[in-house]
Each structure stands twice: as structure tokens, then as C-alpha cells.
Amino acid sequence: MRSLYPLALALVASSTFAQVWPSKPIRWIVPFPPGGSADIATRTIAERLTQTLGQAVVVENRAGATGAIGVEFVAKSPSDGYTVLSGSDSMTSVPHLHSKLGFDALKDFTPVIQLTRQPVVLAAHPSLGADSVAELVRLVKTKPGLAYASSGSGSPQNMYRYGAVC
């Protein structure tokens, strides 16, 4: 009879502490402006999750500071499963550029799933005269004010500016 005590305890504990999730809407934070790839992917998946879970999954854009504003918001939210984040690789590069952030990407978050994979493309106009990455690097080093486009300060594409790749 003694061997049944752990089983009985487990059954009582599971019925006592079992909670239905989700019991309220889920906030899914996208730390970038509406209309970008992270926003579109998140909204597509959130719509399907709303149908599957039977509870609203509300996408909220909290853009700014290469994602740091939205990331910090989620880091300071309760860890109850009702606020989730569409993170990106900028979560790990921004802290190297800004010393006073309200989050630690490695300690404050638990990765759940990779939603998308996006290639990074390096392109230059033919008139620039760089036919390879090595030639482009040489050109950038000789012309420090050369104009370029990136997705923002601290983004992987922007790290060229800080000499991280060159």
C-alpha cells in the first residue's frame, strides 16, 4: 500500500496546481517597426496561434534603438508566458555598443523556436569598382566617409561601420 502514496500525491498535486494556459490574451512584442520581415512573420504565426489556442495573440510593435526598447520591455515583463518576443541577432550585438541597457540577452530570455531564417546580402553598385568582398574592404578603408545602408545601429549589417568585420 505504501507504494501508492507517491502516485496519489502526484494526482492530487497535478489537479490542484493545473492551470489552463492561455487563460488571457498573449502579447507578442516585435521590437521593430510594422511592415518589416519580423513583423510580417510574427503576425502570420500569431494569427494561426490565435485560432489554435482559442485565445487572442496580440502583436505589438515597440520599435527603437535597434530593437532594444521592445527587448527591454519584455525583459521587465512578468515571466508568466503571456508576453513573448520576436527577437533577433541584434539582441546580442546592441549590448556591445551600449553599456546601459535594461536587459541581458543571455540571462533574461529563453529561446523557444527559430521562426525565420534570413540571408544577409552584401551588394555594391558596379560603378564603385569593387568586384569582391576583399576589394570592398580595401575601398572602405581608403574612403572612411563612404555612404552605405544598413538596418540600424547595432545591427549585424551596421557592424562594418565599427570595424567588426573589416
pLDDT digits (tens, 9 = 90+) for 131-153: 998 998 888 888 878 877 766 66
Does some domain include residue 25? Answer: yes
Please check whether residues 29 and 75 belong to one and the same domain: yes
Please check whether residues 132 and 86 belong to one and the same domain: no
Does some domain include residue 9? Answer: yes
Please check whether residues 72 and 130 belong to one and the same domain: no
Residue-wise DSSP of 104-156: -TTTS-----------------GGG---SHHHHHHHHHH-TT-----SSTTSG
Please check whether residues 20 and 65 belong to one and the same domain: yes
Does some domain include residue 67? Answer: yes
Q: How far is 83 from 58, CA to CA, in rounded Å?
A: 10
Grid coordinates of 85: 518576443
pTM (global) more than 0.75: no
pLDDT tens digits for range 24-73: 999 999 999 999 889 999 999 999 999 999 999 999 999 988 888 999 99
Q: Is the peptide bond before 25 cis (omega within 30 degrees of 0)?
A: no
